[in-house]
C-alpha cells in the first residue's frame, strides 16, 4: 500500500480529576491525532500526547517534525515496509521518537485494515485474551491519596502505582499509610518521575522496602546512570526505567552499566516496532517488562492492548487505564471510556487497531489540513 497523505490535529482534553507527578499537576493535556492514508483510501490512526515536562516532545513539535520532515521522507513508500520506513525516519533525524512512534502505530492500523486482521496478528499473534490493568494514584494530599488507593482496591484493582518524588519523608509516610489501608496483598509500586535525589532518597527507599514494593520506577533523572547502578546494587526492590528508555539503544546502555532491573515500555514512546525490540532485549537480559501509560486516548490504548496481547514477556500488569480518566475520548463506543470489569481490558478483534474516530474528530483532522494547505 503506497503511503499517500497524512492528516494531523491537536486536541486538548480535560481530565476527570487532577493527576499530580513530581514535576507537574495535570488537569488535562493536548493530544495529537494522526491519520495516515494509503493510495487506495485505506487509513491508519495513531495518537500521541504532550510529554513535557517529563519528556522532550509536545504536540506542536510532533506536528512540525512529521509535517516537514518525517512524512515527506516516507511518502510513496509501501506501508508494509516497516523496517525500511524505520531506517528512513532514523536518517531524517536521530531524535523525536514520539513523532516516529505515531507514524509506526498508524502503519500497523493501516496494514491490519488492509489485510482485514487485528493488529495483534501482525505482531506475533495473541498470547492472552485479556490485559490485567494497574491503577495509579497521583500526588495530592496524603488523605486523598490513601482514599484513592483504597477506592481502586474496592473496585477490584489488584495493582497500584503511587506517584512520589516531592519530599522523601512525606513519600515514606504516604506509602506506609497506603499499605496499611489496602492491606498486604495488592501489588504496590512507586514512580518518582525523575524527582528524587540519590543522597536524600537512598535511605528512604531502603525503609520503603518494608512495605513490599514491586518496583521503584524512574526515581532519579535519566542522566544519573551511576545513581541507578547504585540503587540496583543496594536495593532488593527492582529498579524500573521509564523516561530513560525510548529506544533499544537506551536500554542497552543501561544494561551495560548494570543500571536497570525492569523496563516500563510505553507504545507512545517506542511505537509497536521499537517496543518489540526493547522487550526482546529486556527478555534476553532477564529484566522484568511492564507496559505503561503515557496518557493515551482510546487509539493509543488499543495499540497498547494489541502489544500486550502479543508479547508474553509483558508479564507484569499494564497501565492501559488512561481513557477512564479522560472527560471525553476521540474514539466511538464505550469499550475504553467505561471502567473495565475487574480491571482488565479485552483484546479488540476488529481489523487494525479496532479504534474508530468520532465524526467530530475526523472533521477536526480535515479542517486542520485545509488550514495548513491554505497558509
Ligand atoms: Mg513512569
Per residue in 120-158, pLDDT (tens digit) is: 999 999 999 888 899 999 999 999 999 999 999 998 899
Cβ neighbours of residue 5 closer than 8 Å, sequence gap 6 or more: 36, 37
Gap from CA of 54 to ligand 1 centroid (Å): 9
DSSP string, 6-53: EEEEEEEEEEEEEEEETTEEEEEEEEEEEEEEETTS-EEEEEEE--TT
Please provide the average confidence, as pLDDT, over all residues in the chain: 94
316-359 tens-digit pLDDT = 678 888 888 899 999 997 655 456 667 888 888 999 999 999 99
Distance (angstroms) between ligand 1 centre and the Cα of 52 equals 13
Q: What is the whole-number distance in angstroms between the Cα of residue 295 and the centre of ligand 1?
A: 11
Q: How close is the Cα of 192 to the center of ligand 1, in Å?
A: 7
* Per-residue confidence (pLDDT) for residue 375, from 0 to 100: 47
Residue 334: the pLDDT is: 61
CA of 57 to the centre of ligand 1 (A): 16
* Cα 281 to middle of ligand 1, angstroms: 20
Please tell me the distance between residue 264's alpha carbon and the centre of ligand 1 in angstroms: 7
252 CA from centroid of ligand 1 (Å) = 19
- Res. 18: pLDDT tops 80: yes
Query: How remote is the CA of residue 350 from the centroid of ligand 1, in Å?
Result: 30
Using left for φ > 0, alpha for ψ between -120 and 50, and beta otherwise, residue 74 falls in alpha
Going from the Cα of 154 to the center of ligand 1, the distance in angstroms, rounded, reads 24
CA of 111 to the centre of ligand 1 (A): 30
Mean pLDDT computed over 252-273: 98
User: What is the average pLDDT across 277-297?
Assistant: 96
Report CA(100)–ligand 1 centroid distance (Å): 20
Residue 47 CA to ligand 1 centre (angstroms): 19
How far is the centre of ligand 1, averaged over its atoms, from the C-alpha of 191 (Å)? Answer: 6
CATH code of the region 3-117+358-374: 3.30.390.10
pLDDT digits (tens, 9 = 90+) for 79-127: 999 999 999 999 999 999 999 999 999 999 999 999 999 999 999 999 9
Distance 240 CA to ligand 1 centre (A): 9
Contact, 319 vs 268, CB < 8 A?
A: no
Question: 16-19: long-range contacts (C-beta < 8 A, 24 or more apart)?
Answer: 16/325, 16/326, 16/327, 17/325, 18/138, 18/140, 19/136, 19/138, 19/325
Distance from Cα 234 to the centre of ligand 1, integer Å: 21
Nearest in space to 326 (alpha carbons), one of 62, 26, 105: 26
Question: What's the gap in Å between 160 CA and the centre of ligand 1?
Answer: 12
What are the beta bridge partners of residue 31?
11, 49
- Give 218 Cα–ligand 1 centroid separation in angstroms: 6
Looking at residue 373, what is its pLDDT?
60
Residues with CB under 5 A from ligand 1 (ion): 191, 242
Q: How far is the CA of 356 from the centre of ligand 1 (A)?
A: 28
Q: Are 74 and 150 in contact (CB under 8 A)?
A: no
Give the span between the Cα atoms of 142 and 83, in whole angstroms.
47
DSSP string across 199-258? HHHHHHHHHHGGG-EEEEES-S-TT-HHHHHHHHHH-SSPEEESTT-SSHHHHHHHHHTT
Measured in Å, residue 28 CA sits from the centre of ligand 1 at: 17
Q: Which CATH architecture has domain 122-346?
A: Alpha-Beta Barrel (3.20)
How high is the pLDDT of residue 129? 85
* Grid cell locating 309: 496481547
Spacing of C-alpha 225 from chain mean position: 22
Q: 174 CA to middle of ligand 1, Å? A: 18
Rounded Cα–Cα distance for residues 329 and 11 (Å): 10
Q: How far is the CA of 263 from the centre of ligand 1 (A)?
A: 10
Distance separating alpha carbons of residues 338 and 325, to the nearest angstrom: 9
Do the domains 122-346 and 3-117+358-374 match in fold?
no
Supply the pLDDT for residue 339.
61
Report the separation in Å between the CA atom of 50 and the middle of ligand 1, taken as the mean of its atom positions.
14
Domain range annotation of the chain? 3-117+358-374, 122-346
User: What's the predicted TM-score (pTM) here?
Assistant: 0.95
Angle ∠(126,344,53) on CA atoms, nearest 5: 95
Q: How far is the CA of 131 from the centre of ligand 1 (A)?
A: 19
122 CA to centre of ligand 1 in angstroms:
27
Distance between Cα 243 and ligand 1 center (Å): 7
Phi and psi dihedrals of 75, rounded to 5? Answer: -60, 130
For 261-271, what is the mean pLDDT? 97
Q: Is residue 73 scored above 90 in pLDDT?
A: yes
Amino acid at each position: 500500500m503506497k503511503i499517500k497523505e497524512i492528516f494531523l490535529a491537536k486536541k486538548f482534553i480535560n481530565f476527570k480529576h487532577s493527576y499530580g507527578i513530581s514535576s507537574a499537576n495535570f488537569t488535562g493535556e493536548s493530544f495529537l491525532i494522526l491519520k495516515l492514508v494509503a493510495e487506495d483510501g485505506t487509513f491508519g490512526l495513531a495518537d500521541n500526547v504532550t510529554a513535557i515536562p517529563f519528556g522532550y516532545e509536545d504536540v506542536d513539535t510532533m506536528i512540525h517534525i512529521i509535517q516537514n520532515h518525517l512524512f515527506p521522507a516516507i511518502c510513496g513508500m509501501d506501508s508494509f515496509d516497516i523496517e525500511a520506513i524505520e531506517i528512513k525516519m532514523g536518517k531524517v533525524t536521530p531524535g523525536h521518537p514520539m513523532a516516529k512512534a505515531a507514524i509506526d502505530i498508524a502503519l500497523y492500523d493501516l496494514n491490519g485494515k488492509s489485510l482485514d486482521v487485528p493488529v495483534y496478528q501482525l505482531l506475533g499473534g495473541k498470547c492472552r485474551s485479556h490485559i490485567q490493568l494497574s491503577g495509579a494514584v497521583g500526588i495530592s494530599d496524603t488523605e486523598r491519596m490513601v482514599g484513592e488507593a483504597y477506592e481502586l482496591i474496592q473496585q477490584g484493582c489488584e495493582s497500584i502505582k503511587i506517584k512520589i518524588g516531592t519530599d522523601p519523608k512525606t513519600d515514606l509516610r504516604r506509602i506506609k499509610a497506603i499499605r496499611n489501608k489496602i492491606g498486604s496483598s495488592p501489588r504496590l509500586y512507586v514512580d518518582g518521575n525523575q524527582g528524587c535525589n540519590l543522597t536524600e532518597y537512598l535511605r528512604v527507599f531502603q525503609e520503603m522496602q518494608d512495605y513490599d514494593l514491586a518496583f521503584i520506577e524512574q526515581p532519579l533523572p535519566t542522566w544519573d546512570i551511576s545513581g541507578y547502578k547504585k540503587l540496583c546494587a543496594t536495593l532488593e526492590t527492582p529498579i524500573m526505567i521509564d523516561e530513560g528508555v525510548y529506544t533499544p539503544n537506551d536500554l542497552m546502555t543501561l544494561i551495560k552499566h548494570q543500571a536497570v532491573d525492569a523496563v516500563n515500555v510505553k507504545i507512545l514512546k517506542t511505537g509497536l516496532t521499537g517496543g518489540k525490540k526493547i522487550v526482546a532485549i529486556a527478555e534476553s537480559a532477564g529484566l522484568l517488562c511492564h507496559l505503561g501509560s503515557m496518557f493515551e486516548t482510546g487509539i493509543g490504548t488499543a495499540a497498547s492492548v494489541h502489544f500486550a496481547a502479543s508479547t508474553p514477556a509483558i508479564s507484569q500488569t499494564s497501565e492501559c487505564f488512561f481513557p477512564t480518566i479522560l472527560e471525553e475520548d476521540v474514539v466511538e463506543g464505550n469499550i475504553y471510556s467505561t471502567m473495565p470489569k475487574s480491571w482488565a481490558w479485552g483484546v479488540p478483534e476488529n481489523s487494525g487497531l479496532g479504534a474508530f474516530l468520532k465524526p467530530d474528530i475526523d472533521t477536526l483532522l480535515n479542517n486542520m489540513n485545509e488550514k495548513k494547505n491554505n497558509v
